[in-house]
Amino acid sequence: MTLNWLPVALAAFGCFLFTASAHANEKKDIETIAKSIGFINGGPSGSITMDIVFDPGNPESVAHADEVAAITSGGVGSKVKLTGNKVASPGEATSAVIFVTRGAGGVYAAALDQAVANGGLTVSNDVNCLSGGCVLVVQTKPSVDIFISTAAAGKAGVEFASAFSMMITKK
């Protein structure tokens, strides 16, 4: 018996595991964003649309937008339930919550401006956005870290409940 198919199968299985794991991680990031939004004083609650801003010219950004849109198509979260809606530029965003994808560095500032105009905030799971224009950035691997850009939060007028605010990292 030859087992030529085995490396291929193992590789495929490995890819599946990696994809599933990454996907699970991405979902946990979105769940963490939804829960964190629930601690904004006077913030949104219930089912809300989350505009997913991506850079059409950047494959990484497009892929990230597709992934987040797929995860959030049925809504993620409970107290705050986020349903994704892809938008190719910040100007198209109408929601109070704007998710900024990886590789969309060129639109950080515009995304924040649009979020402010919409009376909301920018969120992401890309730490690079923290210094560019995101109010709230989360990471759940290897441990949960929640970052707030004090400059962006100040511009957006976003304040978190004190108990929550004391547990997160401000940049």
Partner 1 sequence: MKKLQFIAVLPAALSAAVTSAGAQSLDYSTISELFGEPVTTSANGSPQRQSEVALNLEILTAEDIARTGARNIPEALRHIPGVDVRRHTFGQYEVGIRGYNQGNAERILVLVNGRQVYTDFFGQVVWDGIPVEMSDIQQIEVVKGPNTALFGFNAVSGVVNVITYNPLYDEVRTLTARGGTQNFYEGSGTISQKVSENVGFRLSLGGYEAKDDFDDVEDAKDSGGLDISSAVEDTDRASVALDLWAQLADNIQGNVELTKNESTRNERLVTHAPSTNEYDTYSVRGRVLADTPIGLIEFDAYHNESRVDFEIGDPEANIPLQADNRITVVKLSDTFELGSSSIFRVAGEYRSASNIFTSSAAELNGDDLTYDIWSGSVLWDWRATDTIRTSAAFRYDNFELDPDGPFVAGFPVGAANPFTDSQYEDQTREEYSYNLGVTYAPDDVNTFRAMTARGADLPSFVEFGFQTAFLPGTVTSNPSGSIYGDPENDTSIVTNYELGYDRKVDAINGLFRSAIFYQYNDEMQSFDGFVEKTGGPFEDRSIITNIGDSEMYGVELGLDGVYDERWNWGVNYTFIEIEDDFRNKLNEAQRSSVAAYEDSVVNHIFNARLGYKSDNWTADLFGQYRSSFDDIVEASNNTNSQYRLEGVNSEVIVSANFAYDITDMFTWSVSGTSLLGDTQQSVEYEAETVVWTALQVNF
Which residues of the chain form contacts with partner 1 (CB under 8 A)? Answer: 32, 35-36, 38-39, 41-42, 45, 140, 142-144, 146, 150, 161-167, 169-171
Of 94 and 165, which has the nearer Cβ to partner 1? 165
Alpha helices by DSSP H, listed for the chain, are 5-37, 59-71, 108-117, 150-156, 162-165
CB of 75 to partner 1, least distance (A): 18
Of 115 and 153, which has the nearer Cβ to partner 1? 153
CB of 133 to partner 1, least distance (A): 18
Q: 90: closest CA among 102, 75, 104?
A: 104
CB of 162 to partner 1, least distance (A): 4
Of 83 and 139, which has the nearer Cβ to partner 1? 139
Of 12 and 144, which has the nearer Cβ to partner 1? 144
CB of 87 to partner 1, least distance (A): 27
How many Cα atoms occupy the beta-carbon half-sphere of 158 within 13 Å? 33
The residues that bridge with 49 in the sheet, in sequence order, are 83
Q: In what order do the strands lie in the sheet with 169-170?
A: 80-87, 46-53, 97-100, 121-124, 136-139, 145-148, 169-170
Angle at 54 between CA 52 and CA 60, to 5 degrees: 120
Of 54 and 160, which has the nearer Cβ to partner 1? 160
CB of 43 to partner 1, least distance (A): 9
